[in-house]
Structure 1
Amino acid sequence: MTLSMRSRKTIKATVMHVAVLALMTTAVVGCNRGIKPVVNDPVKLIQIAQPISVLQPVFDTNIGSKNANKKDPLSLQIGYDNDQMVVASRAGDVIGFDNNGKRLWSVNIGKPITGGVTVDAFSQTAVVTTRDGQVLAFDSMTGAERWEQQLSGSVLTPALITNNRVILSATDGSLHGLSLQTGQSVWQFATQVPAISVRGTAAPTLLDDKTALLATADGRLHAITADNGLPQWSRRIGVGMGSSEIERMSDVDGKPIVDNNQLFAISYSGQLIAIDLASRQVMFVNELASLKSLAVNNRQVIATSLDGKIVAYDRRTGEKLWENEALAYRKLTNPVMIGNYIAVGDLDGVVHLFDPATGTIVSRVQTKGTLTTLQVEGNRLLTQSTSGQVAIWQVAQ
């Protein structure tokens, strides 16, 4: 990808603004230089004039613990398939439920869980990861432990299970492929680790049936064959510019999105990029900074920015379609498509539903605690707050 001098200057100015802004809201690892962050107050919510019913509650429970660090910003993903779900608490509890919310089993692994749960329905395996780099696999129906493996670095995001491999990204820059059956290491792939990076990593995802896509703290995407770890290609997405290491941070912490032969990714340093996978050509690059995954629909790619904007772009041309600042500085989650609407969560446990055509908020639902990640499974929206409140909503009929 080649940028013009004018584009580079514009991006550089934006990046410097974004870097300062991000320090106000995001933990940075690798330095402690006495910088006192400036905190922007979250905007107050304005009542919706004529709200509509979009989501109806299905299930909620609290798995929080007094011993857990509720201020820890890490996300915990819910493992879900058509028959059951498996959730994990920050205190080390792993709990299986059926789809009606009946508790089936519970185990405690005795240490903090950081990445949440990934469930493979075919093998009935649930995988969790811990702060100290341990990976544990359980029978998702009974809770019986199957294996455990120790990695070289902490794992802060859920695993990807595909092609009989459990694929993980560790904070030391190492990527791992484990045997789904035994947990033994099959392959490792080392990436560059910058001196300073944002605390977090992007969850691995699938590029195609045989290839895993992993984003790293140096602003790159790596396509790796899932079964044997052979690198296919690597591309820089985040382009940090500036005189200091902080200004040059270019993490890609939001999981890349692959949809209809298009790849979308966004970086901390302020680049939202779209790539045509057939030609490997860049379709567009827009200036927006985020640490959250994107959402896509037939026409749009949607992002939540570091400062709390929700922005929709044309997924083919990159043209900005609309922007909403009504949730500024509310520490927004990733956007997701649920039914015909865009959903975004915030620091107060509120899920806001947007009309994708206009960008206006049309509905809200509420849970308890701060939301960091939203998940969609079919017509259901899944949330788990930092206080341990697990909730499921379904698109209203």
Structure 2
Amino acid sequence: MRASPETLDTASGRSLPWRGVACALLLAAVTGCSSWGGGSGSGSAKPAPADLGVNVPTLGVRQVWTARIGSVAGLPLAVHTAGPVVTLASADGVLAAIDARTGGDLWRMALGESLSAGVGSDGKSVAVVSRNNALIVVDSGRERWRGALTAQVLTAPLVAGGRVFVLAADRSVAAYDAATGRRLWVLQRPGEPLVLRQAGVLLAVGDTLVAGLSGRLVGIDPDNGSLRWEAPLASARGSNDVERLVELVGRSSRVGDSVCVRSFQATVGAVGCVDTARGVVRWTRAASGAEGVDGDGDAIFGTESNGTVIAWRRSDGTRLWDSDRLKHRKLTAPLLLGRSVVVGDDTGWVHFLSRTDGTPLNRMATDGSGIAAAPTVAADTLVIVTRNGAVGGFRPD
């Protein structure tokens, strides 16, 4: 299913129920407890999703193809796009590269084991991680190598510069030779007892590897793993492990040297932007959500845990607008696409909102199983993946 903070993992990989642990320890004070339904037996009613009303389309959208990948339930799926190629995976280990222009397979293979993270790619090599903590690299539908990891991985590997970079749940970052699988270096930071069962932040910015480690965005030398800078976006606070949990969650928005991300915390989260050329935080704003952000040079957009959609000015974090039309609909991270902000919800609708003020432009139905991953775009085609594994290509006018 689409990753959501309904479970916590220990650093060793043991899962704990988020609803029961967080809400029992923090009672109703935890932001989002009511949105996620409260603990088992709490008696709290799940908020009703906002009524969508009549769809009055002011933006033309048509579905141009459909495909299937298999169920992605339980997999924090990141869909990778490079030119017209869309690479994705199912929870049970089917990998596929799809032509975004037609929806047809370029290649497809079955790994034969369930996945915990994926997919990462440089357009040629594809990297995923299995639930048995194996890093697996595939080239054009053929397995090239696999190697054992010492910790669980929930973030899609980053494939760049002939290397595969892995961000593990124990807050380590490691680099591997993409051709041979040889480990080149590892950066280990002190780990907290609990981690959010959700993909984190891992991307390349120029010649720097940028990763989210707890509440800090860090810049790493990709050649040797040395730390170049740290930018604290959020700090652990509280009297117990759940209260002190803080994570930077994907997706992130990069424009030049500016990288904007969301930090998730049990009490007070934030959205903020970092100048990666200097390694300094430009601004942060309080925000309560567990999905990443998207944007351009003017604005960034995010979805809160209660379904509110918010736009901030990228330069200084000023709030531009917010919309509660999709309240309590459990939204994905957004995608900025032309004049629209695209989000999926837990009932399978894909919503197109005006980037100017959040007013609805159109909405499209899928198979009703819920949107499983943040929307992506390839070859002028919007790509949507549902929890049951339906893949749809849409073209907005």
Q: What is the TM-score of this pair, normalised by structure 2? A: 0.84
1:36, CA displacement in angstroms?
Answer: 4.6
Q: Percent of aligned positions with the same letter in both sequences? A: 24
Q: Separation in 2 of the partners of 1:36 and 1:116?
A: 35
* Counterparts of residues 201-216 of structure 1 (less than 5 Å): 201-206=199-204, 208-216=205-213
- State the partner residue of 1:97: 98
Superposed counterparts of 1:70-89, under 5 Å? 70=73, 72=74, 74-89=75-90
The CA deviation at 1:380 is: 2.4
CA distance in 1, matches of 2:118, 2:370: 16
Query: Amino acid of the residue matched to residue 106 of structure 1?
Result: R
Larger displacement relative to structure 2 (361-370 or 96-105): 96-105
Which residue identity is paired with 2:78?
Q
User: Is structure 2 residue 29 aligned with structure 1 residue 22?
Assistant: no
Match of 1:117 among 107, 116, 119: 119
Structure 2 counterpart SS, 1:182: coil
How big is each residue's C-alpha offset from its partner over 1:199-225, in whole Å with a ceiling of 9 and x where there is no partner? 22314112x221111112x21212112
Structure with higher RCO (Cα < 8 A, 6+ apart): 2
**Partner Cα separation in structure 1 for residue 66 and residue 116 of structure 2:** 21
Gaps of 5+ in 1: 1-15, 28-32
Residues 1-397 of structure 1 correspond to what in structure 2 (within 5 A)? 20-24=30-34, 36=42, 38=44, 40-48=46-54, 50-64=56-70, 70=73, 72=74, 74-99=75-100, 100-121=102-123, 124-140=124-140, 143-206=141-204, 208-216=205-213, 218-269=214-265, 270-368=269-367, 369-371=369-371, 372-377=373-378, 379-396=380-397
Question: What secondary structure, in the 3-state scheme, does the structure 2 residue paired with 1:246 have?
Answer: helix
Check conservation: 1:88, 1:95, Cα contact below 8 A. yes
Name the amino acid aligned to 2:99: D
Question: Structure 1 residues 109, 304: closer, same or farther in 2, change over 3 A?
Answer: same
SS of equivalent to 2:217: strand
Tell me, in whole angstroms, the C-alpha distance in 2 between the residues paired with 1:130 and 1:19: 36
CA gap 1:193/1:284 in 2 versus in 1, 3 angstroms: same
Tell me the distance in 2 between the aligned counterparts of 1:19 and 1:228: 43
Rounded to whole Å, the distance in 2 between the matches of 1:180 and 1:241 is 39
Contact 1:212-1:223 within 8 A present in 2 as well: yes
Shift in Å, 1:34? 8.0
Q: Structure 1 residues 197 and 19, CA, compared in 2 at 3 Å: closer, same or farther?
A: farther
CA-to-aligned-CA distance 1:226-255 (integer Å, 9 cap, x gap): 232221112221234333332222211224
- Is the partner of 2:394 in helix, strand or coil? strand
Larger displacement relative to structure 2 (157-166 or 95-104): 95-104
Q: Give the length in aligned residue pairs.
A: 366
Gaps of 5+ in 2: 1-25
1:48: Cα distance to partner? Answer: 4.3
State the SS of the aligned residue for 2:176.
Answer: strand
Equivalent position amino acid for 1:341 in 2: S
Report deviation, 1:83: 4.7
Residues 117 and 128, structure 1, Cα contact 8 Å, conserved in 2: yes
Pairwise CA RMSD: 2.7
Distance 1:156 1:170 in 2: 7
The structural deviation recorded for 1:325 is 1.0
Q: Deviations over 1:160-180 (max 9, x none)?
A: 111111111111222111111
- Structure 1 residues 232 and 42: CA distance shift in structure 2, 3 A: farther
Shift of 1:60: 1.5
Q: Is the 8 A contact 2:93 2:113 kept in 1?
A: yes
Q: Counterpart of 1:161 in 2: which secondary structure? A: strand
Secondary structure of 2:261's counterpart equals strand
Q: Is the 8 A contact 2:165 2:175 kept in 1?
A: yes
Deviates more, 1:94-103 or 1:125-134: 94-103
Deviations 1:60-88 (A, max 9, x none): 122325xx7x3x3x332233333533331
Aligned mates of 2:80, 2:277 — CA distance in 1: 32
* Partners of 1:42 and 1:327 within 8 A in 2: no
Q: Distance in 2 between matches of 1:228 and 1:55?
A: 47
SS at match of 1:205: strand
Q: Which residue of 1 aligns with 2:19?
A: none
User: Once the two structures are superposed, what CA deviation does each residue of 1:236-282 show, in whole Å capped at 9, x if it has no partner?
Assistant: 21234333332222211224322133221221121222233455443
Cα 1:275/1:93, change in 2 over 3 Å: closer
Supply the AA of the counterpart residue of 2:138. F
Please give the alpha-carbon distance, in whole angstroms, between the structure 1 residues aligned to 2:384 and 2:299. Answer: 23
